[in-house]
């Protein structure tokens, strides 16, 4: 069995084709026969034809994805789309894409999208011809391979979604801590921040305490594609709080490292269940490496948040310890080795300290007062961004996600 998919065109005439190719006496052949014999109202399958009275080979069935409501809709399927699919299949045989000796052995099941708003028959034909041919090529070449899928899964976007779901696959990032108690000030700052993938928005603890976890939803309205962290610092009933934040579309939840191992693991388990990031906040935790080592490897946090501890740095220096990998936030690289995840750092960070944090292994720097207390939040954020690369997709070409030649 071969599986292929392609989307071609634009506007109401856009074409999207999903198809299966396989032997007549196999599962695809069974589906082919069932499709022709078990009709469904509004989705009546039909054979693709080169012209009336001349089916294509391999025999191909077309299944309309959108309900055919009237004769006008039916004409689009039985006219330009039916011929487009049929000719694309025949051309694939002629060009050697489909082996000629398989023309009588294989069948093709093609699901075709035709919008009820489509009007231009020429475009319907052209787009469906191209989409069918491309879907067949992809199916028989095994496109995409798993490496392509894994590379694209966090980079690609879906046009119909209207937003991009951000994953933290290419650090560093700047987390803007919105530690405010005023919703209007929050909205003003968010609107002024640069529209950059490297900026993460944190619903700070003061905001959550005053307005509830619903403030995450308010931030989402202002920044639909932003990566939003709910700084809950949950200590107990973590599962409930994590679910509440996830229901408001939070991308990550901060869990207090002061909680018991059981409560931390339960909260992390819930983030895994909800498909969001877990952040283990080590504020006031005496020995965070010991705390992490107590966790079940199955419930390691995605991100560990370390706070600046100048006293620790001075103490280690006085003891003559090697400080090559040690910072005021501790040994960041060691923490990352223990968890296999990312490390965030916080505590009076200025743009000048950003380089030090990155050199020591930080993936995320958290800035609060420097940005939210500034008269120009955009400029303040750009002071940090100047120490970071361009956004991961900044140089990406729109069509770059397709096959390489």
SS (H, E, C) 271-334: HHHHCCEEEEECCCCCCHHHHHHHCCHHHCCCEEEEECCHHHHHHHHHCCCCCCCCECCECHHH
The Cα 255–Cα 253 span in angstroms is 6
Secondary structure (3-state) at 404: coil
Report whether 204 contacts 225 (CB < 8 A). no
The reply to whether 158 belongs to the active site is no
Question: Which DSSP string corresponds to 47-116?
Answer: E-EEETTEE-SSEEEEEESS---SHHHHHHIIIIIHHHHHHHHHHHHHTTSS-GGGTTTEEEEEEEE--T
Q: Which of 73, 84, 208, 74 is nearest to 136 (CA)?
A: 84
The Cα 354–Cα 361 span in angstroms is 11
Of 16, 158, 269, 387, the catalytic one is 16
The Cα 78–Cα 258 span in angstroms is 66
Tell me the catalytic residues: 16
């Amino acid at each position: 069995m071969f599986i292929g998919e392609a989307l071609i065109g634009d506007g109401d005439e856009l074409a999207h084709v999903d198809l299966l190719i396989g032997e007549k006496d196999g599962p695809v052949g069974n589906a082919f026969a069932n499709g022709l014999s078990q009709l469904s109202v509004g989705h009546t399958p039909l054979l693709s034809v080169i012209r009336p009275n001349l089916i294509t080979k391999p025999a191909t069935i077309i299944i309309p994805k959108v309900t055919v409501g009237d004769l006008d809709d039916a004409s689009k399927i039985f006219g330009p789309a039916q011929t487009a699919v049929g000719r694309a299949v025949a051309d694939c045989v002629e060009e050697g894409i489909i082996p000629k000796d398989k023309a009588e052995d294989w069948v093709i099941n093609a699901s075709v999208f035709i919008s009820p708003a489509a009007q231009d028959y020429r475009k319907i034909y052209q787009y469906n011809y191209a989409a069918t041919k491309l879907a067949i090529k992809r199916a028989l070449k095994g496109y995409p391979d798993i490496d392509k899928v894994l590379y694209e899964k966090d980079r690609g976007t879906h046009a119909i979604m209207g937003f991009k779901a951000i994953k933290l696959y290419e650090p560093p990032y700047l987390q803007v801590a919105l530690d405010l108690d005023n919703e209007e000030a929050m909205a003003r700052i968010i609107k002024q921040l640069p529209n950059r993938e490297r900026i993460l928005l944190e619903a700070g603890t003061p905001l959550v305490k005053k307005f509830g976890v619903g403030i995450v939803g308010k931030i989402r309205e202002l920044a639909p594609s932003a990566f939003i962290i709910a700084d809950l610092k949950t200590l107990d009933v973590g599962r409930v709080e994590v679910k509440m934040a996830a229901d408001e579309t939070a991308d990550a939840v901060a869990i207090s490292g002061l909680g018991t191992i059981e409560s931390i693991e339960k909260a992390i388990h819930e983030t895994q269940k909800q498909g969001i990031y877990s952040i283990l906040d080590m504020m006031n935790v005496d020995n965070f490496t010991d705390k992490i080592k107590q966790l079940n490897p199955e419930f390691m946090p995605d991100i560990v948040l370390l706070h600046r501890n100048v006293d620790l740095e001075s103490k280690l220096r006085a003891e003559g310890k090697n400080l090559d990998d040690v910072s005021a936030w501790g040994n960041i690289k060691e923490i990352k080795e223990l968890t296999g995840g990312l490390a965030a750092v916080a505590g009076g960070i200025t743009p000048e300290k950003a380089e030090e944090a990155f050199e020591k292994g930080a993936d995320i720097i958290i800035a609060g007062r420097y940005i939210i207390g500034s008269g120009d939040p955009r400029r303040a954020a750009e002071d940090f961004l100047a120490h970071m690369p361009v956004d991961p997709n900044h140089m990406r070409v729109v069509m770059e996600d397709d096959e390489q030649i």
